[in-house]
Amino acid sequence: MATTFKTFRKNDMVSSRTLLHEAIPLTGTIVSGTYSENNIKNFSHGMFQSVYDYPYLSSSANHILDITVGYSNESKLSSSTNVQNSKKRNLYNQMAQVLMGYDHTGSIQPFDEDGNIIAGGRKINEAVFVNFSRLLVKDEIKKGSFSMVLGVSGSHKAGNPLHYDGGVRSVTYTDNVWRRTVSIEDRNAENDFRVNSPAGEYGILRIYETDIAAHGALLGPTISDLCDTDVSAIANRGTTNSLHGAPCGLIFYQAGIAVISGSVFTENSGTIGGGLGTHTGLLEAAPTMLIHGQTFSQMLTGSEISSSAHAIRHRIQDITFNNTTELNSTIYFCRVNHNNFNYSSNPTYLSASRMRVKNNTSDQPVSYITTVGLYSDNNELMAVAKLSEPLKKTPSNEFTLRVRLDY
């Protein structure tokens, strides 16, 4: 008799999970506007800027990332007289609500510098948000692979600062290499990440100096001392601390969002206008953020979100990370024993009650396996696998066909 169906046993099925990684390099030229800013999209609502790999009106353009800024209600920068004050506060609260959730009182939990929410650590009250597209992130960002190189000098390597005439699209470069850069990374995050977020797992971003040999360690406090901190604590630390390895933000792996502390963009020499008082920061003396010579805090309070995003984009030199695609597989071992599937139910198999594939009646029955169908318990065809070439099956041989379903 022709065997048509065969039931799988438990040991005939194996499930597996494979993580595939792809390197994603984003150069500063793309982020800052490769095509005369035509790959940068602004919106009428003015809540964020979008970056594309080609001019965004092109049918071949792919969305790369969104960038925006915001501050909490507790920030010293928050003021009703600020430009787009409510939008900046709402953006921060929306991001915090989605990524950090609520505390025990039902209030939105602010971003915490070290992720230790229960301990009530230092909060990130002014933040830059970089939201990477799902096209790049896939299922998540691989832990320990994220790096963002930022220019932290007041001007470019050539010594001439950027020229900005007040228009979003009018920026000219003398040299697109900063005199000094730092790298923001999530080193060792695969062994040290947090799970107390409603958006999934996240890691701590830390700042590393990229050219200590040439410049020496950046003087000043660690990032922990930058915003909303007692100035006397900074003074007591002296000016010999390197910023190497200090926490400066959070990276949410499944959400694909980097939260960079606003303190990364503030200056490290003297007072900072706009409400941060005398707290010191990271950048060199009197840096400008491309917005009419404003410091970061002045930009955050006196400029629109799109202008702030524009200025921050031009300090990004490189972004690299590995994405992750989770591939779940079920492998079915279709075992064809010597006494199975030696006949075919195809009507063309017979001619005048004789098998076409037999020359003599004494010959062994033979069939050719070309297709494997997987059926449900209700006899519904769920999947079909095609062989690259027919397999000759006789009572004297056996096969095990390995069928893998990926999803």
What's the rounded Cα separation, in Å, for the pair 254 and 202? 8
What's the rounded Cα separation, in Å, for the pair 349 and 366? 10
What's the rounded Cα separation, in Å, for the pair 153 and 282? 9
pLDDT at 291: 59
Report residue 98's pLDDT band, with 50, 70 and 90 as the boundaries.
very high
With CA atoms as reference, report the closest residue to 271 among 261, 262, 257, 281: 281
What's the rounded Cα separation, in Å, for the pair 118 and 120? 5
pLDDT at 155: 59
Report residue 165's pLDDT band, with 50, 70 and 90 as the boundaries.
very low
Asked if 382 contacts 375 with a C-beta cutoff of 8 angstroms, the reply is yes
What's the rounded Cα separation, in Å, for the pair 285 and 275? 18
Q: What 3-state DSSP class applies to 162?
A: coil
Full-model pTM: 0.76
pLDDT at 151: 82
Sequence-ordered alpha helix ranges (H) in 140-249: 212-215, 231-237
Percentage of the chain beyond pLDDT 90 is 51
Asked whether the predicted pLDDT for residue 101 surpasses 90, the reply is yes
Left, alpha or beta for 286 (phi > 0: left; psi -120 to 50: alpha)? left
pLDDT at 35: 79
Number of H helices, E strands in the chain: 7, 21
Q: What letter represents residue 14's amino acid?
A: V
Asked whether the predicted pLDDT for residue 272 surpasses 70, the reply is no
What's the rounded Cα separation, in Å, for the pair 253 and 399? 44
DSSP string, 77-144: T--TTSTTHHHHHHHHHHHHHHHT-B-TTSPBPPEESSS-TTTT--EE-EEEEEEE-HHHHBTEEPTT
The stretch 178-207 carries a mean pLDDT of 91
Asked whether the predicted pLDDT for residue 346 surpasses 80, the reply is no
DSSP state of 234: H
Angle (deg, nearest 10), helices 305-313 and 85-99? 70
C-alpha 315: how far from its chain's center? 19
Long-range CB contact pairs, 11-17, < 8 A, 24+:
12/332, 12/333, 12/334, 12/335, 13/330, 13/331, 13/332, 13/333, 14/330, 14/331, 14/333, 15/328, 15/329, 15/330, 15/331, 16/328, 16/329, 16/330, 16/331, 17/326, 17/327, 17/328, 17/329
Sequence-ordered alpha helix ranges (H) in 211-348: 212-215, 231-237, 296-302, 305-313
Which residues on adjacent β-strands are paired with residue 147?
185, 320
What's the rounded Cα separation, in Å, for the pair 154 and 392? 75
Question: Which of residues 35 and 97 earns the better pLDDT score?
Answer: 97
pLDDT tens digits for 298-315?
888 999 999 999 989 988
Q: Which residues of 332-362 are buried (b: 16+ CB within 10 A; e: fewer)?
A: bebebeeebbbbbeeeebeeeeebeeeeeee
Percentage of the chain beyond pLDDT 70 is 75
Asked whether the predicted pLDDT for residue 193 surpasses 60, the reply is yes
- What residue segments make up the domains of the chain, in order of their start? 20-325, 337-406
Using the structure block, give the residue that is written with the tokens 């594309």.
52
pLDDT tens digits for 201-257?
999 999 887 754 444 444 333 333 333 333 333 233 333 345 668 888 999 999 999
The stretch 316-324 carries a mean pLDDT of 95
At CA 180, angle to CA 177 and CA 184, rounded to 5? 100
At CA 37, angle to CA 168 and CA 316, rounded to 5? 85
What's the rounded Cα separation, in Å, for the pair 122 and 368? 70
